Amino acid sequence: MISGYRDHAANERTFLAWVRTGIAVIAFGVVIEKLNLFVLALTISNSADTARRLQLERLSGPIGRYDGLALILLGLAMVALAFSRFIRTGHLLDTADAHAAPRLSAELILSVALAVIVGGFSTYFVLG
C-alpha cells in the first residue's frame, strides 16, 4: 500500500481538474479564433453593404484578433503549471517534513488572467 495514498489521490484529482480546465480554455480559444476567421471572411465577401462591412470590421478588431491566441496560451500555461505543481506536490507528500504553502498562488494569477480575458472579450463582443 502506498503511504499517504489519500493525499496522493487528492493531488492527482487536482492535477486532472487543472488539465481539464486548461483543455477547455484552449478549446474556447480555438473557437474564438475560428469565429474571427469567419467574421473576416464575411467582411471580405460582403463588400457591397458598407454599414454591414464596417460593423463586421469592428467585431474583428484588434482585441478579437489576439483574444483567442491569448486564451490558447493561457490554457497551455495552465497545463504546464498543473504538471509542475503535481510533480512538486508529489515529492513534498513523500517527505515527512511540514511545508508552508506558497504566499501567492500561480493558480490564482492564472484564474484572474482568465477572468480578465474572458470578461474583456465578452464586453468587447457585446458592445461591438
Encode 72-117 in three state secondary structure. HHHHHHHHHHHHHHHHHHHHHHHCCCCCCCCCCCHHHHHHHHHHHH
Residue 55: its pLDDT value, please? 65
The reported pTM is: 0.72
Q: Is the pLDDT of residue 57 over 90?
A: no
Residue 70: its pLDDT value, please? 85
Q: Give the number of C-alpha atoms closer than 13 A to the C-alpha of residue 16, restricted to the C-beta side.
A: 6
Residue 80: its pLDDT value, please? 94
**Rounded to 10 degrees, what is the CA torsion of 66, 19, 82, 35?**
0
Q: Is the pLDDT of residue 36 over 80?
A: no
- Taking the alpha carbons at both ends of the chain, their separation in whole angstroms is 58
- Mean of pLDDT values over 36-44: 69
Q: Is the pLDDT of residue 16 over 90?
A: yes
Q: Is the pLDDT of residue 24 over 80?
A: yes
- Mean of pLDDT values over 23-30: 91
Every domain of the chain and the residues it spans: 5-127
Q: 498543473: which residue's cell?
A: 82
Which amino acid type is present at position 36?
N
User: Can you tell me the distance from the alpha carbon of 96 to that of 70, in angstroms, rounded to the nearest whole number?
Assistant: 40
Are 68 and 32 in contact by the 8 Å Cβ rule? The answer is yes
